[in-house]
Amino acid sequence: MSPRQVVEEWVRRFNAADAEALAALYHADAVNHQVTQAPVAGREAIREMFAREFASADMRCIVEAIHDCGEVAALEWRDPLGLRGCGFFTIRDGRIAFQRGYWDKLSFLKLHSLPLD
């Protein structure tokens, strides 16, 4: 799959809240760094992160744009509650090697009525 196709599939699996299928898109030693929290390293740790997050909030990703160049794809997104953000995916051999996401954690917590940490 091309970087764009990987990100499109990532969105599909994210919106299905399927942590197992989502984690399968990552390399075994991938890193997911949402800048509001510490980086998560390894496919299994990434799977666990998504499982925890899907259990705590009803999250959906509405694609605003996907830009790709070489092995990198950028995803501009919003959710149904109005939160906006972007993610950058480095794709190697059809799998995510590195992901970095930018979004406002305080707004997310408030929109989902979650405790402020």
72-95 burial, b if ≥16 CB within 10 A, otherwise e?
ebbbebebeeebebebbbbbeeee
Compare 108 and 94 and report the one with higher pLDDT: 94
Decide: pTM greater than 0.85: yes
> Could you tell me if 111 and 26 are in contact, meaning their C-beta atoms sit under 8 angstroms apart?
no
pLDDT band at residue 57 using 50, 70 and 90 as cut-offs: confident
- Residue 102 belongs to domain spanning: 3-111
pLDDT band at residue 83 using 50, 70 and 90 as cut-offs: confident
pLDDT at residue 117 above 80? no
Residue 83 lies in a domain: yes
Residue 90 lies in a domain: yes
Residue 76 lies in a domain: yes
Look at the chain and report how many structural domains it folds into: 1
Residue 117 lies in a domain: no
Residue 116 lies in a domain: no
Residue 78 lies in a domain: yes
- CATH number of the CATH domain containing 52: 3.10.450.50
Mean pLDDT, rounded, for 84-111: 87
Considering the chain, what is the average pLDDT of its residues?
92
In this structure, the dihedral spanned by the alpha carbons of residues 44, 26, 15 and 78, taken in order and rounded to 10 degrees, is 110
> Could you tell me if 24 and 10 are in contact, meaning their C-beta atoms sit under 8 angstroms apart?
no
